[in-house]
Amino acid sequence: MLKMGESIQVGDVHYTVQRELGSGRFGSVWLGLDMTAPANKVIREHQARYRAAALKVLKRDSDFDFSEAVNHGLRCRSELPPDLSISNSLAPKLISHGAVEIACTEFIEGPMVRTIIGQLRRAQDSELEDRRLEEALLLGKRLMEMAGELLDAGVIHSDMNPRNIVVTPAGKPKAVDIDFLRRVTDMPIKKNGVPVRIGSERYISPEVKDGPGYSRVSDLYAISGIVRDLVNVAAGRSLRDASLMFGRRDLQALISYFPSSLQERFFGLIQCVVEGLNPIPEKRPQNSTEIRDLMHQEALRTSEPAPALKVS
């Protein structure tokens, strides 16, 4: 636990703790600001001009010391290009601060995708349907592009879920919470000799859930699930219905649920999501080129409308 106003030294920078941002399975995250700027600067200006930090205080687990795994993740991020769609590490290893260990990464300003999905769920005015869908289409495409970028970089985040993706003011999605970032060639994280299953149940890929473990396209599966939920909530459907419909992999039936004016524009994205959710890792897109090709495909033209999909 940190206290507001407490100073955390990271290299030659002193971050002043502002507030708690949230907590999860592996620790609590706090906002820290480099307060060496003039006192009359507002926090937003600090975040843009002076580095703001996400300070994650790791929880203690008597059965599993995951400090080594987090150190590996921080070091892995420090060796990757800084403009990759993953928050940068501000130190290549954990910082010891009193009795706690802290993972220090850049603070990404913007709403979580989880927040955006919640806003779309609450804004179900029929007059705004096209606007909701346009926003979901744009963000969905950017999320799939992010998935392709990470595939090309050869890294696995390990815990892609709507809480761990933030959308910047420029509209760019970035993954945060990089505790278990790995390269695809790295050994799996283990506890008592058994690979640790990390991730949110709704977005965990079959190979992680049922074995043999993370593949290079496990994050793609998770991001495809997030986009599935995003576009279906924007279209006014429940998350349960979304899972059922995409599980049937009936592309034309899925497209029929969107307004006719938007069906062709959604076709490529929906097709990409369907393929990204393929239960067989080898049949998912393997790189950004394959993702881009799927998203750019035109809608199938048929003389008959797609059949309505009944959800029990």
120 and 249 inside one domain: yes
Tally of residues, the chain: 312
Q: Hey, is 86 helix, strand or coil?
A: strand
Is 197 a domain residue?
yes
| Residue 145 buriedness (CB in 10 A; 0-12 / 13-18 / 19+) | middle
Determine the pLDDT at residue 13: 87
How much is the pLDDT for 62?
54
Task: Write out the E strands in 115-175.
Answer: 155-156, 165-167, 173-175
Residue 36: count other Cβ atoms within 10 Å of its Cβ.
10
Final residue belonging to a domain, choices 86, 106, 126: 106
For residues 38 and 54, state if they share a domain: yes
Instruction: Give a yes or no: residue 174 inside a domain.
Output: yes
Looking at the 3D structure of the chain, how many domains does it have? 2
Residue 74 inside a domain? The answer is: yes
177 lies in the same domain as 224 = yes
Q: What are the two backbone dihedrals, phi and then psi, of residue 123, each rounded to the nearest 5 degrees?
A: -95, 70
> Token pair for residue 63?
């059965």
Residue 311 in any domain: the answer is no
Is there a domain that residue 236 lies in?
yes
Residues 172 and 95 in one domain: no
What pLDDT sits at residue 79?
A: 95
The CATH number given to whatever domain includes residue 122 is 1.10.510.10
Q: Do residues 30 and 119 both lie within one domain?
A: no
**Pair (26, 153) in one structural domain:** no
Q: How far apart are the first and last CA of the chain?
A: 47
Residues 38 and 20: their CA atoms lie apart, in Å, by 23
Q: Which domain holds residue 16?
A: 12-106
Q: How far apart are CA 20 and CA 94, in angstroms?
A: 19
CATH of the domain at 16: 3.30.200.20
Q: Which segments in the chain show pLDDT lower than 50? A: 40, 45-50, 301-312
Determine the pLDDT at residue 127.
Answer: 60
Tell whether 175 and 270 lie within a shared domain. yes
Q: What's the pLDDT tens digit per position in 205-248?
A: 999 998 888 999 999 999 999 999 999 888 888 777 777 778 87
* Whole-angstrom distance, CA of residue 94 vs CA of residue 281: 33
Domain presence at residue 304: no
Q: Domain check: are 26 and 53 in the same one?
A: yes
Q: Based on the number of CB atoms within 10 Å of its own CB, is 262 exposed (0-12), middle (13-18) or buried (19 or more)?
A: middle
